[in-house]
């Protein structure tokens, strides 16, 4: 309990110290961020991340030139962010190549066909768990986009019967999806 109170007090003091730094040097930090990041949209986000960093890792006591220290830390943070963003882009490109999709173009026909086949196989596997009429109604409604009236006319039953088949079929499918 005492350790938790000590940690809470330490974080509170660090937060106050970080807030003082931002009040005193906020304009300077914003200028550095604008100059280094070239991204006005991210300015506030970077400043908030910097504040959190100051809370987690307060300025060391042996720092003589605070502005120089702040400049070095914020520039390092911006460079790290740029590296992380570039790494993220590389992963996206690698993933896009893996699934044969160009980031700038439409998905390849093979990728589209594979996705359609996968969805159809999942749908078919789930539908097999239903009774014949339930499966027929769910298929007509969600795969073939029939309205309830059209389904009733197609299979020769009343609309309420179609609704009951649809309700019971969907209930069973929900249970099956949760189990899988």
Q: Please report, for the chain, the start and end positions of each structural domain, with discontinuous segments joined by +.
A: 2-98, 109-179
Assigned token pair, 42: 């991210």
Is a pLDDT exceeding 70 seen at residue 109?
no
Dihedral (CA of 147, 150, 155, 157) sign? positive
CATH topology of domain 2-98: Rna Polymerase Sigma Factor; Chain: A (1.10.1740)
* Whole-model pTM over 0.75: no
- Say what the pLDDT of residue 103 is: 52
Percent of the chain with pLDDT over 90: 13
Is a pLDDT exceeding 90 seen at residue 20?
no
Q: Residue 153: which residues within 8 A CB-CB, separation 6 or more?
A: none
pLDDT tens digits, 69-97: 888 888 888 888 888 888 888 888 777 77
Distances (CA, A) of 131 to 141, 166, 167: 15, 11, 13
Beta-strand (E) ranges in 1-119?
none
The CATH code of the domain at 109-179 is 1.10.10.10
Instruction: Give CA–CA dist 106/47, Å, rounded.
Output: 37
∠ CA 153-177-123, rounded to 5°: 50
């Amino acid at each position: 309990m005492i350790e938790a109170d000590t940690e809470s007090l330490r974080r509170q003091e660090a937060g106050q110290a970080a807030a003082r730094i931002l009040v005193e040097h906020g304009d300077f930090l914003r200028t550095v961020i604008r100059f280094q990041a070239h991204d006005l949209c991210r300015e506030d986000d970077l400043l908030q991340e910097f504040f959190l960093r100051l809370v987690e890792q307060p300025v060391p006591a042996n720092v003589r030139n605070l502005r120089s220290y702040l400049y070095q830390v914020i520039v390092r943070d911006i460079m790290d962010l740029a590296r992380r963003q570039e790494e993220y882009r590389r992963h996206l490109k690698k993933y896009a190549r893996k699934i044969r999709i160009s980031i700038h173009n439409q998905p390849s026909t093979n990728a589209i066909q594979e996705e359609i086949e996968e969805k159809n196989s999942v749908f078919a596997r789930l539908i097999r768990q239903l009774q014949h009429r339930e499966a027929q109604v769910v298929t007509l409604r969600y795969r073939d986009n029939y309205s309830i009236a059209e389904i009733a006319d197609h299979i020769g039953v009343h609309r309420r019967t179609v609704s009951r088949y649809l309700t019971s079929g969907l209930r069973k499918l929900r249970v099956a999806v949760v189990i899988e």
